[in-house]
Amino acid sequence: MVSKEVIVNNGTGLHARPATLLVKKASSFKSDVSIEFNGKKANVKSLIGVLSLGVTKGANITVTASGDDETLAAEEIAKLIETLED
């Protein structure tokens, strides 16, 4: 299992459009990928799960990946979250 801390820079947080991009990216990996925010955890391959966390701008979240390509999955998802724009 690989974990990475990430700060959300997107002005509107992880709303519908960026969350959709995250789900698409996460779905390209074999590993299970999740994010944790405010003590709640969600599967990044689930749009409803990501949206239900209510992640806002400046939030510090933890990306966790577990599986065959966990290192690459965690790095790619973390990088995507850091570079998302409005």
Hey, which residues are catalytic here?
Answer: 15
Q: Checking phi first, is residue 42 left (phi over 0); if not, alpha (psi -120 to 50) or beta?
A: beta
What is the side-by-side order of every strand in the sheet holding 60-66? 2-7, 60-66, 32-37, 40-43
